[in-house]
Amino acid sequence: MTRRAFEMLAGFRILPGYFDQEAQATLLAEIRSAVLAAPLFLPRMPKTGKPFSVRMSNCGPLGWVADVDGYRYQATHPETGRPWPAMPRLLTDAWRGICSGAPDPQACLINFYGPDARMGLHQDRDEETFDAPVLSVSLGATAVFRIGGRARRDPTRSLRLASGDVLVLGGDARLAYHGVDRIIKGTSELVKDDGRINLTLRRVTPPGC
């Protein structure tokens, strides 16, 4: 059976080096402050309770969590019970500049990848609306990012995401399967010990809700 050629879905964009070194350092400091208020936690797979290899937190009005009860958004940290800290202005300004016309993001998922962490292919589909794009910011070590189509068995392509890069999943690509195959060691000058931070901004509910 002949493998279909990979075709990039409309609405998929990478903006290399969108954040310069100074902006990256500022954003990292703001994320560190957010994590002090909302410590990283270890999410778990629904039903099985298997832990992720990535630790997480959130900022913004809502935060994404995963545990044995399922995937969901909620207004409080799953361990402290406190509201999530505010989203850094650098991120909201980037959203308004890149995703012009889209309603403001409600959640920023903070993913911390150690040198051996990865993320399997998945769709971002726990939101109530898919009209707004997903915007993803990379800080630290370079990741080998994989993207496919809207069906799990569609062909995939691997790309490298470096510190300061911004990725957008909008339009047809809003529900594209994607994941992180690996972290390339020795590529981080920003986050120590080959760490990578991924910041994923999402709109959760339709405007007016």
Domain spans of the chain, in order of start: 12-202
How many helices and strands (H and E) does the chain possess? 2, 12
Q: What is the pLDDT of residues 24-69, one digit of tens each?
A: 999 999 999 999 999 999 999 998 999 999 999 999 999 999 999 9
Q: Which pLDDT score, from 0 to 100, does residue 2 have?
A: 36
What's this model's pTM, rounded to 2 decimal places?
0.95
| Displacement of CA 97 from its chain's centroid (Å) | 18
pLDDT in tens, 157-170: 999 999 999 999 99
CB-CB contact of 140 with 205 (8 Å): no
* pLDDT for residue 5: 52
For 196, the 3-state DSSP assignment is strand
Q: Which CATH superfamily is domain 12-202 in?
A: Alpha-ketoglutarate-dependent dioxygenase AlkB-like (2.60.120.590)
